[in-house]
Chain A
Amino acid sequence: MGSGGGPGPDSSPDPDPVPTTLELLADLQAGLLDNATAARVRSRARSDPESARMLARLDSVRRELADLGADEQTAPDVPEIVTARVGAALRAARPGSPSAGGHAVSRPQLTRGQRAWLVAGICAAAATVVLGALILTRDPGPAFPSGPTAGQITVERPAPAGFPVSDAELRVALSQPYDLGPLADPQRYASCLTGLGYSPTMTVLGGRPLEVFGRSAVLLLFPTGTPDQIRAVVVEPTCTAAHSGLLADTVLPS
């Protein structure tokens, strides 16, 4: 590490007890050193090529960062769901108006009609619980469309076409106390509902963690506002207001 032709081990020590490290030079650059220390470090940086190199690297970092800030070409693609979400929020927001001082659309505000639906939905929830019980106690045949192949009929019928949760899993979810898994935290659950476009206080009829498409997910069952229907939704465990991670969504007839 020593420079060529360096002194022997018993030569006089460096008069400056503070070694010039990259961190110390970064502190100098950031203006963190007191005047005396800064002057000493600066002086050594002028006479020591290695210190000068490190200082140059720090300057280079700042230039690279400034370049990155101005460089739109290399910016990564935006996940489509983020683009779609922001685009939808902008479309829903009121056009810019000098007089519009209040929030346009930060998070969806419930209209009077939506509130009415919410009330209706909560009322319907009770009815739907009863319907759920009926689904469990009667022949499940007509409850969900049968699968497209005989093989599937003899093993386990899928729920409505394309929906990745089986009839049996749906019925289990309805029959047991709900378990929202990673969405059990009320704040995360409310955030997820917002992301799905529902009221954050929406009643859940059932739910359970499961695996679909080879990855973890959470099944949620909601009332639809129509007494003979239940909405089944499968989301990623990371479902939030910003990114619902919606994997599947269907309305189940009772």
Chain B
Amino acid sequence: MREPPEPLRTDAQLLTAHVGGDRYAFEELFYRHHRQLYRLALLTSRNRDDAADALQDALLAAHRAAHRFRHDSAVSSWLYRIVVNACLDRLRRNKSHACEVLDEQLQLCGDADPTRRVDTAIVVERALMCLPVDQRAAVVAVDMRGYSVAETARILGVAEGTVKSRCSRARSKLAGSLGCVSVGADMAK
């Protein structure tokens, strides 16, 4: 497995170095955050291929636009935002495929074992992956990344009411599935 580079420089320093011509600074920034960036891409994409495509497109866009970063937020937040935008944009362009459910998602759904102690984050992530991608993308954008409903609607190319509705359905399903997991864990004790 690839070991991430030693984080000697801060994210902001790496980005500044990249803008200044350091050929490897941006790549180091990517390796530093790639797991969370990929998680976001997976959660807001139709499938793994789309996630990988969107991740690459987003990173290249960030690579090009780095000089426009104003340092008014964390570099990582800026990167997350670019990745989520790229994924939502891809979903908008591929609306006809928006309801596909992946085998691997179903495997993840069945994989959650409530009788053993599983990290909450992993359980939440698995529950998310069981949602239809349009609901998942909406709730990730709004609840996980703090996008406004209006902004999410604009990027996805849908009405604000649609985003609200998708968030509502997603949350009620998550409340049901996550509630089941905690009940199961309690019963196993």
B59, B121, B164, B172: the one within 8 Å of A23 (CB): B172
B35, B146, B165, B179: the one within 8 Å of A78 (CB): B35
Q: Is A96 an interface residue (CB 8 A)?
A: yes
What does the 1/0 interface line of A194-216 toward B look like (CB < 8 Å)? 00000000000000000000000
Provide the bound-state CA to CA distance between A17 and B30, in Å: 54
Provide the bound-state CA to CA distance between A27 and B171, in Å: 9
What does the 1/0 interface line of B150-179 toward A look like (CB < 8 Å)? 000000000001001101110110111011
Residues of chain A in range 114-170 having any CB-CB distance to chain B below 8 Å: none
A32, A71, A106: the one within 8 Å of B165 (CB): A32
Cβ-defined contact, A86 with B171, below 8 A: no
- Enumerate chain B residues within 8 angstroms of A241, measured Cβ to Cβ: 53
Q: Is B145 an interface residue (CB 8 A)?
A: yes
Q: Which one of A39-47, A60-68, A176-184, A222-230 is at the B interface?
A: A60-68
Q: Is A49 an interface residue (CB 8 A)?
A: no
CB distance from A29 to the nearest CB of B (A): 7
Cβ-defined contact, A93 with B124, below 8 A: no
Provide the bound-state CA to CA distance between A85 and B55, in Å: 10
Cβ-defined contact, A96 with B167, below 8 A: no
Cβ-defined contact, B143 with A65, below 8 A: yes
CB distance from A86 to the nearest CB of B (A): 5
Given that A65-B143, A89-B60 are contacting pairs, would A96 and B66 also be in contact in the complex, using a CB cutoff of 8 Å?
yes
Q: Is B187 an interface residue (CB 8 A)?
A: no
Provide the bound-state CA to CA distance between A65 and B121, in Å: 9
Closest to A240 in B: B49
Number of A interface residues at 8 Å Cβ cutoff, please give it: 54
Q: Is A54 an interface residue (CB 8 A)?
A: yes
Report the contact-size class of chain B (Cβ under 8 Å from the partner): 35 or more
Closest to A92 in B: B60
Q: Is A95 an interface residue (CB 8 A)?
A: yes
Residues of chain A in range 18-63 having any CB-CB distance to chain B below 8 Å: 22-23, 25-27, 29-32, 54, 57-58, 60-62
- Enumerate chain B residues within 8 angstroms of A91, measured Cβ to Cβ: 23, 27
Q: Is A243 an interface residue (CB 8 A)?
A: yes
Provide the bound-state CA to CA distance between A62 and B175, in Å: 9
Cβ-defined contact, B35 with A23, below 8 A: no
The 7 closest A-B pairs by CB, nearest first: A75-B35, A242-B52, A74-B121, A69-B144, A26-B172, A30-B168, A65-B143
> 4 extra interchain contacts, Cβ-Cβ under 8 A, other than A32-B165, A64-B124, A90-B59?
A65-B144, A65-B174, A82-B52, A96-B66
Listed in ascending order, the chain B residues whose CB lies under 8 Å from chain A are 1-2, 18-19, 21-23, 26-27, 30-31, 33-36, 38-40, 42, 48-50, 52-53, 55-57, 59-60, 63-67, 80, 119-122, 124-125, 128, 139-140, 143-146, 149, 161, 164-165, 167-169, 171-172, 174-176, 178-179
